[in-house]
Amino acid sequence: MPAPTPQALQDYLHAHIPLSKAMAVEVRTASPAGVCLAAPLAPNINHRDTVFGGSVSAVAILSAWALLHVSLLDADIKARLVIQKNSMSYDLPMPTDFTAEAVVPAPEKWQRFLATLSKHKRARISVQSSLYCEGKKVGEFEGDFVAIIL
């Protein structure tokens, strides 16, 4: 099954992860090579008129999860994806709209993940996402996700 279009992925996220709709998350790009999500300041604002840290974390997690979702669909693998653990760095305040860009893991890590998933029906992989605001890198996310074949 081919990877969904950005609009199809956005529709899926808004229907199945309601928080993404409440946060007004927009899918800018969606492919097995990478996923870029954008979110506006207004529904994600904090008391300092910058983006709330919880919103940043949620969009970063969502970008990494979406990358795995798209990549598994592209590989025609039906699996349940869950986050196991993550870490975030918040390097600069975000006073306006922001993006989270998840990138594909190194090819050897992806192939090992797929081989493990095929053999054991369960596998773990780490995915990174970078956060940008006003043209600057403002944070980093790294999360471990577990896929379980249905």
The CA distances from residue 25 to 9, 10, 18, 33, in Å, are: 11, 8, 10, 20
pLDDT of residue 75: 93
Report residue 17's pLDDT band, with 50, 70 and 90 as the boundaries.
Answer: very high
**45 bridge partner residues:** 51
* pTM of the complete model beyond 0.85: yes
* CATH of span 6-149: 3.10.129.10
Tell me what the mean pLDDT of segment 137-145 comes to: 98
Q: Domain coordinates of the chain in residue numbers?
A: 6-149
pLDDT of residue 117: 97
Measure the CA–CA gap between 105 and 55, rounded to whole angstroms.
Answer: 24
